[in-house]
Structure 1
Amino acid sequence: MPVHRPGKARVRRLTLAGALLAAFSFAFTVPSAADTTADPTPARGSAYMGMGVLAHDGRSGTPTGTDATQTEGVDVSSHQGNVAWSTLWNSGVKWAYVKATEGTYYTNPYFAQQYNGSYNVGMIRGAYHFATPDTSSGAAQANYFVDHGGGWSRDGKTLPGALDIEWNPYGDTCYGKSASAMVSWITDFLNTYKARTGRDAVIYTATSWWTQCTGNYGGFASKNPLWIARYASSPGTLPAGWSFYTMWQYTSSGPTVGDHDKFNGALDRVQALANG
């Protein structure tokens, strides 16, 4: 006949209870995977001009007056949806850039309203491409851009396409490329765009990103207008090669549309860039 040992059974019950209590406590003290991801990777296609400027360059001061006449502009993407172009025009905005494409996988669903709407109120407008150098070649992305709204025509109202090359919102800051490989990728894009449209594309970037990811390469300055991003009282130090900027994105919190820009010249200089 088996011997009943209540002492051992009680020990087993206490051990099991302790294990359950520990597991219960652990579940409430260790954050879940979702909790530890404070800044999840955004969805592909959601990038826009200046997305990384606040995070990496920050914001300091407000723009001050400059010696040269400046012409107000804006840049928009799908984040702005249908834009109130007449409101912007009446506030003094005279030019605009609209996100057309990203990589070879995304087109802005609001492109028609934004691109045509800005034109219809009288603005000089152009399109921009958000570069993702880790997903396809520069040539492939330039062709995709031109084929989906990034072309150019000599109508006096169309600015040359802009290459938005900045911090990678989806991963490695420099898209996994060395400085020389990044310069080669940009060259591939610019050469293809020029061959397709006859125009040299504008380069949009920030000095700190350009320095880190291209080694502060200065070889594009003689042909490609600079659109500098810096949310401060002045554009600050420019990337190598450029002695002046053509456009300056100076804030992400402007009226009506957040991203506001200044063209380094009067309206006739904006028209001159449009005409080539």
Structure 2
Amino acid sequence: MGFVQRPIYAAVGRVPLLVTGILVGAFSLLQPPSASASSTDDPPERGLAHMGMGVVAHDGQDGLPPSAKATQTEGVDVASYQGNVAWSTLWNSGVRWAYTKATEGTYYKNSYFTQQYDGSYNVGMIRGAYHFATPDTTGGATQANYFVDHGGGWSKDGKTLPGVLDIEWNPYGGDCYGKTKSAMVSWIRDFLTTYKARTGRDAVIYTATSWWTQCTGNYSGFGATNPLWIARYASDPGTLPAGWSFHTMWQYTSSGPTVGDHDRFNGALDRVQALAKG
């Protein structure tokens, strides 16, 4: 709101008086907000969701550097909002693996997918693709097929990681996409079963413990088959969802160098290569 001077009139003789903008501004604070005012809580445009966009809002970020007591391998994840990525810069900084968003729902394909997916491969990285799930729009099997058909497949070339199901807070509405806990588990199972039938690989599950607990009831049935990519912007991965005794990957920040989302693989480079080879 701009602070301006405006005339008001006294009760006697209608003499114009100037009231400073500070006084007007103070008075305006007493008024209810306009119904037409824009809100910072408005959902983003469909397709712009990406890994971790709800983590800071729901889990927070303490800004502490992550611990690296065990051997870990640096990685990144990217989406269309990051545009053309400087892959050589990332490689020279020590990044050795990358995931690119391929699809969302059954209505969106990443327009930068080729530059991001092929670019990481061309500099020598081991790379894979991920799908941002929207369980309120179409079924899990339908979205898995859409993902595989638009960049989410797998090949046994030693340089391609299995696809990732990004299942987290709904940026367009209610956190759990309007599903009960059991219905959410069924949706996830349908996606994972279809993905494996199409590719021969078990998909990685990317999630945050607090979302998983809220929206699946902390379901433990996928830990034996599907690698876990945990999202937590802190000095350690914290408590893991039920069913997993360890994480495979950890997204530890959204404000890293070159691109914001940086990750650590829970092992040396040969372990990344082993996951790629299946």
TM-score (norm 1): 0.89
Q: Find the counterpart in structure 2 of residue 110 from structure 1.
A: 112
SS for the counterpart of 2:37 is helix
Find the partner of 1:91 among 75, 90, 93.
93
Find the partner of 1:55 among 54, 57, 60.
57
Q: Find the counterpart in structure 2 of residue 274 from structure 1.
A: 276
Deviations 1:30-55 (A, max 9, x none): 43334252321111001000010000
Q: Find the counterpart in structure 2 of residue 18 from structure 1.
A: none
Find the partner of 2:37 among 35, 38, 58.
35
Q: Find the counterpart in structure 1 of residue 22 from structure 2.
A: none
Find the partner of 1:195 among 197, 202, 211.
197
Moved more, 64-73 or 237-246: 64-73
Find the partner of 1:265 among 264, 267, 278.
267
Aligned CA-pair RMSD: 1.4
Greater radius of gyration (CA): 1
Letter in 1 for 2:179: K
Q: Find the counterpart in structure 1 of residue 77 from structure 2.
A: 75
Q: Find the counterpart in structure 2 of residue 253 from structure 1.
A: 255
Distance 2:246 2:71 in 1: 14
SS for the counterpart of 1:33 is coil
1:130 pairs with 2:132: yes
Letter in 1 for 2:187: W
Find the partner of 1:241 among 240, 243, 247.
243
Letter in 2 for 1:220: F
Deviations 1:81-133 (A, max 9, x none): 00000000000000000000000000000000000000000000000000000
Distance 1:264 1:33 in 2: 49
Q: Find the counterpart in structure 2 of residue 10 from structure 1.
A: none
Change (3 A) 1:34 1:120: farther
Q: Which runs of 5+ in 1 are unaligned?
A: 1-24
Richer in helix (by share): 1
Among the aligned pairs, what percent are the same residue?
A: 80
Shift in Å, 1:63? 3.2
The count of corresponding residues between Structure 1 and Structure 2 is 251
SS for the counterpart of 1:270 is helix
